[in-house]
Amino acid sequence: MANSTATVAGVEISTDHWIDGRRVSSSERFENLSPVDGSHLANVASGGKPEVDQAVDAARRAFPAWAALGPEGRLPYLKRFADGIRARAKDLAAVETMDNGSLMAGNLHRVVPRAAQNIEFFADWALTLQGHVIDSPEVTNHIHYDPSGVAALITPWNAPLMLTTWKVGPALAAGNTLVVKPPEWAPMTCSLMADIAHEAGIPAGVLNVVQGIGELAGDALVNHGDLNRISFTGSTGTAQIIGQAAARSITPMSSELGGKSPFIVCADADLDAAAQTVAGQYMNAGQVCLAGTRVLVEKSIEAVFLAKVRDAASHMVVGDPRDSSTRVGPLITREHFDRVAGFVERAKADGAEALWGGSPANFGDLYFQPTLFTHVDPAWEIAQQEVFGPVLTWQTFESDDEVIAVANGTKYGLAGVLFSQNEARAMRIASQVVAGTLWVNCFFVRDLAVPFGGSRNSGIGREGGSWSFDFYSDIKNISVRKGSFSDKVA
């Protein structure tokens, strides 16, 4: 079967799988439409068990040689991979924007550089893993980070390049070989990523990409039965399904899931900075798992703060994500748009009041107005469920105990944001909010060295820094009795 390509944003991209160092086609294809303007982007190969089996086989065969290279041996490949991502920054940014509607400027200046850093950073970090020794009275413990084998990486559409490289980087640096299943709603940059890895000289079979629908390709992958790791970013419901497959084959699984993060604004906060940051939650139309979507404001400053947020939100221009003045682009698909609109309608029916927004934007088909709901009961769906759209709720609080209880009053625990200029108070509240990440007087700052993940229904495990290597390695202790070697002391 002839290999297929599509041209997206002027960039020619393979629409096939990448397995064992070559393009592999499928007779089944799925249609990929752009959320930006509804245009047809590609018919992408729709994989299933045969393609997954080929990819896992290829990864299994490639594993011993890749693992044997060690961190130093893998470093030059991964540096070239990172350089290749940087060299194609414009293409990657433009394609990502057409594919998932994210802001082009953000993709160019933040996402693509970060994707390159994801590869480079973990390649460097891997050099530090060897030689850990823990001394005990009778033995010397030599801690080894052994590559685990074949890792399956499954990623979502809201930030495919960023979130896929965030897994690919440490998984490859740790010496694993990979099967990546990109999101079917935005599969194109992962296809380019495979080309870039190939051009960097990464050997055949080390990084495989199987395109396809979650319930088909993804399902075949997680049920393959001979994987060593599954790393997943996506929805909580999908994680429950994948978790069952992982449990059946005793495959370690890491998952980063949804959120309904609190955004706490204390009366002593820098209100201008806080208001700008609240408005920033509308970026990428709120399709950001980390977004602080529940604004919790200290009652004494409600009126003054609301005026500031209203002003900041009025600058959140809805429009074409290729335009540098746009702050809020489209929702990803009609299906998702209807889901977001459904949340909004039910919130109104429950009695919430939309202070602004609350309906589709007067632009394109899939664009929704930035929305703020007040008079929200914390028990209502709109304050409990992840909307994944440009929709914030507004509640007030009168004591720290109250805000901590409300902040912790959902099933999620991914992130939180807190604005206060009182250090003792900020740290007291921050330490009591259940979240993988709590940002104080800032938002979205993510050093690659720090742990990242969610508590409760927002995830299992942590990745980032050493935590990525804890997950992607088989950690072994070689415990040697002191003085037991005749040639030298252990």
CB of 234 to ligand ADP, least distance (A): 3
Q: By CB under 6 A, which span of 23-31, 33-41, 237-245, 347-355 interacts with ligand ADP?
A: 237-245
CA–CA dist 429, 439 (Å, integer): 11
Backbone φ and ψ of 465, nearest 5°: 50, -135
CB of 214 to ligand ADP, least distance (A): 2
Tokens representing 135 are 């001394």
| Binding-site member from 218, 259, 262, 292 for ligand ADP (CB under 6 A) | 218
| Binding-site member from 71, 147, 175, 214 for ligand ADP (CB under 6 A) | 214
- Judged by CB under 6 A, how many residues of this single chain contact ligand ADP? 17
CB nearer to ligand ADP: give 389 or 465: 389
| Binding-site member from 170, 175, 234, 358 for ligand ADP (CB under 6 A) | 234
Residue 156 contacts ligand ADP per CB under 6 A: yes
Q: Which of 51, 96, 184, 256 is catalytic?
A: 256
CA–CA dist 473, 144 (Å, integer): 9
CB of 160 to ligand ADP, least distance (A): 8
Examine the residue annotation and report whether 256 is marked as an active-site residue of this protein.
yes
Tokens representing 171 are 């998984």
Residue 215 contacts ligand ADP per CB under 6 A: yes
Residue 101 contacts ligand ADP per CB under 6 A: no
Residue 292 contacts ligand ADP per CB under 6 A: no
Q: By CB under 6 A, which span of 50-58, 82-90, 214-222, 323-331 interacts with ligand ADP?
A: 214-222
244: CB partners within 8 A, 6+ apart = none
Residue 256 contacts ligand ADP per CB under 6 A: no
| Binding-site member from 181, 224, 229, 462 for ligand ADP (CB under 6 A) | 181
Residue 249 contacts ligand ADP per CB under 6 A: no
Burial (CB count within 10 angstroms: exposed 0-12, middle 13-18, buried 19+), residue 276 = middle
Q: By CB under 6 A, which span of 132-140, 155-163, 414-422, 459-467 interacts with ligand ADP?
A: 155-163
8 Å CB contact between 236 and 457: yes
| Binding-site member from 222, 344, 406, 415 for ligand ADP (CB under 6 A) | 222
Tokens representing 51 are 């393609």
CB nearer to ligand ADP: give 213 or 267: 213
| Binding-site member from 219, 256, 298, 320 for ligand ADP (CB under 6 A) | 219
Q: By CB under 6 A, which span of 125-133, 141-149, 231-239, 474-482 interacts with ligand ADP?
A: 231-239
8 Å CB contact between 254 and 154: no
Examine the residue annotation and report whether 190 is marked as an active-site residue of this protein.
no
| Binding-site member from 147, 183, 330, 459 for ligand ADP (CB under 6 A) | 183
Residue 235 contacts ligand ADP per CB under 6 A: yes
8 Å CB contact between 200 and 80: yes
Residue 57 contacts ligand ADP per CB under 6 A: no
Residues of the shown chain interacting with ligand ADP in the complex, contacts defined by CB under 6 A: 154-157, 181, 183-184, 214-215, 218-219, 222, 234-235, 238, 241-242
Give catalytic residue positions.
256, 289
